[in-house]
Structure 1
Amino acid sequence: MTSPRAQLTLHSPEETCALAERLSASLRPGDVLLLSGGIGAGKTHFARCLIHALQEAPEDVPSPTFTLVQVYDTGAGELWHADLYRLSDPDQCVELGLTDAFEDAICLVEWPDRLEDLAPGNALSLDFTTDERETVRHLAMRWTDPRWDTRAGSLAA
């Protein structure tokens, strides 16, 4: 894995939400966010805030842990929120249509390690960790595609 290109400390759920809202303003179809971190690290909270920021009339955003994928219509285009925690085989991503969605939808993928070789190389990787008190979130952002240089890089400024 590449070294983080940017690192942030998020001191509250509100700071996590504010970051998601700022990033949401620049997202468009074909953008993939890979959300990593342990259970309770803040992945789903971040995803909910981002989805709400893109919805004209925010609706309930359940965790897709049991359905694997939830699809939303947003002002920026179709958004797929996938939680691959229960995925047993990466080929199931193809069956779900997730790999096609990487091309023409905004995709938020929790537990992206389950994708194995199917993870898109142009994705923005967000790795959430907690401190020992589990009140502060640390976020390491990684990317190789230049499309993220300004969009993700400005979040750390």
Structure 2
Amino acid sequence: MSLTLNVNGRDHAVDADPATPLLYVLRGDLQLNGAKFGCGLGQCGACTVTVDGKAVFSCVLPVAAVQGRRVVTVEGLGTVQAPGAIQQAFKAEQAAQCGYCIAGMIMRAKALLDATPRPTEAQIREGMQPNLCRCGTHMRILRAVRRAAGLPVEPARAGA
């Protein structure tokens, strides 16, 4: 079935079964590989993108559910040459270790900061909680979110 998706500000015509997970269309049809397949169950967050500004697990969201809505992937936030503000904060805090979860973390942070530009520590922790980092860089990720929000960032401790 032919569907039209708005991804990163551009309309894309795709031929996909309406029940196909959005993640598969992003990666397979549109060659946007930032969102990763992690668990396939909407439990890890590696596939997180935003739909109309809300963070969603694209591995469990049928592509038909996003017709007429705005999808943004990490590729829509900036480029290697000109990274967006949140990407810059994650880089400054060295929040990535293996990098597998980072696109999803960045997109979750984007949705959080768009909804709550100056979040409290509790709001940051709650907002980022659905996404997992198996390498354990959560403290650096939290610092990156604080940095992106313009909040004070305590110095990193050894191993954090």
TM-score, normalised to structure 2, is 0.25
- Rg larger in structure: 2
* RCO comparison, higher one (Cα < 8 Å, 6+): 1
The TM-score with structure 1 as length reference comes to: 0.25
Structure with a larger share of its residues in strand: 1
